[in-house]
Amino acid sequence: MTTARGQIQTPVFMPVGTLATVKSLDTKDIEDLGAQIILGNTYHLYLRPGTDRLQQVGGMHGLMNWSRPILTDSGGFQVFSLGKQIEGKTHDEMRKLHPQGKLPNIQSFSTSKITDEGVHFTSHIDGTKHFFTPEKSIEIQQQIGADIIMAFDECTPDQADAHYTREALDRTHRWARQSVAAWENRDRKSVYGHYQALFGIVQGAMHRELREESAQFMSELPVDGLAVGGETIGYNMAGTVEVMSWLQDILPADKPRYAMGLGRDPQNLIDAVLAGFDMFDCVGPTRLARNGTLYFGKLEEKDGLPFFDSPYNKARLQIGNLAFATDNNPIDVSCDCYTCRAGYSRAYLHHLFRTSELTYYRLASIHNVRVMVRLSEELRSWLERQT
């Protein structure tokens, strides 16, 4: 995949740098662990530091001293997920209370209000009111200066009924057309003058006919790549793979396919690559690292198919376990990450984790992100061997 800032080898795992930082890592760390591209979140960067300040320092690249490609999301997902309050609870909290039940209609519980024009929302930081339209989202992404930008979309909860999902999908399609127009109005360039690739996002929740229609619609737009979004993607892998199989023959073969928010567990990446996808991002590796979960395992092959082999459930080594308190081995003796190569022991990481020392977060995040980046490199080699 070629961007204004050079080539990206796919499949590619993109570490998430929500606020122009991959949590606990500095820019040099991210380069050293081999990340080819990182993700920034439009919603967060728009609120802080804000687009005026970003423009004065050369956008997200200038701010964080990062010279490789950046992808920004449209802000839609955060507007909905952070703005949504159901009876005073967030969407996630409500889902835990009603794991099987149907949630109330979005419009009736949300502090963000969706109209056909866009989304009114309240900042989760200071309560100020804002309004995102497709044009506004593209404008902000031009000011952030990413190399790949996303069309504005509505991420519909899987529990939404067919009628609501239909309405939301029509809106997402109209917004995609408007996003394309806003992108073309600026000659497809950022405010800094470089080309920005635009991706469309396929929605439709778990309704097959809506997903297929959405894939068809997005494929006909003059976009550079196609993404699949939605609540299921990356969280429910059986559902994710099912959705991917519906889209397999509809999405154009010559454009990159991006699974948004996918990559919490190493095996997820493998499953998505086998389903034909090329690009992935997830906060999982760094969030899990901070909570004491370190990936452990390696890519193996069985019956001609790759899988992530590990003695641990979901390849998750829990560094807080007492068993590691006196373990002098690195996390993984065969890992090429800085933390493992430098010789930091499980005992040391266990101690740093138990005492909540800041050094722990960096060393653990370096390992987990490197496992995902290396896995995408190994999957590329595996794919090359198949042809």
x/- binding map, residues 256-275, to Zn ion, per CB under 5 A? Answer: --------------------
Contact set for Zn ion, span 366-385 (CB under 5 A): 367
b/e per residue, 327-339, with b = 16+ CB within 10 A?
beebbbeebebbb
Residue 273 — left, alpha, or beta (φ > 0 → left; ψ -120 to 50 → alpha)?
alpha
C-alpha to C-alpha distance for 90 and 80, rounded to whole angstroms = 10
Alpha helices in the chain (DSSP H): 27-32, 42-47, 51-56, 59-64, 76-83, 91-97, 106-109, 134-144, 162-185, 208-220, 237-247, 266-274, 284-290, 338-341, 346-354, 358-386
* Shortest spacing between CB 362 and Zn ion, in angstroms: 12
Antiparallel, parallel or unpaired: β 119-122 and 113-114: antiparallel
Quick check: 304 and 331 in contact, CB under 8 A? no
Catalytically active residues, by annotation: 73, 281
Shortest Cβ 339–Zn ion spacing (Å): 5
In the stretch 115-144, what mask flags binding to Zn ion with x, by CB under 5 A? ------------------------------
List residues bridging with 282 in a β-sheet.
15
Nearer to Zn ion, 37 or 349 (CB): 349
Residue 70 C-beta: closest distance to Zn ion, Å: 25
| Cβ-based burial of 342 (10 A; exposed 0-12, middle 13-18, buried ≥19) | exposed
Amino acid 293 reads T
Binding pattern for the stretch 172-211 against Zn ion, x by CB under 5 A and - elsewhere: ----------------------------------------
Among residue numbers 323 through 352, which ones bind Zn ion (CB under 5 A)?
335, 337, 340
Q: Which is nearer to Zn ion, 173 or 346 (CB)?
A: 346
Shortest Å distance, C-beta 31 to Zn ion: 17
The yes or no reply on residue 319 touching Zn ion (CB under 5 A) is no
**CB 379, min distance to Zn ion, A:** 18
Q: How many residues bind Zn ion (CB under 5 A)?
A: 4
Nearer to Zn ion, 8 or 299 (CB): 299
Which is nearer to Zn ion, 140 or 340 (by Cβ)?
A: 340
| Rounded Cα distance, 313 and 197, in Å | 38
Backbone phi, then psi, for 252, in 5-degree steps? Answer: -60, 140
Give 16 or 340: the residue with its C-beta nearer to Zn ion: 340
**Residues at the site binding Zn ion, with contacts judged by CB under 5 A:** 335, 337, 340, 367
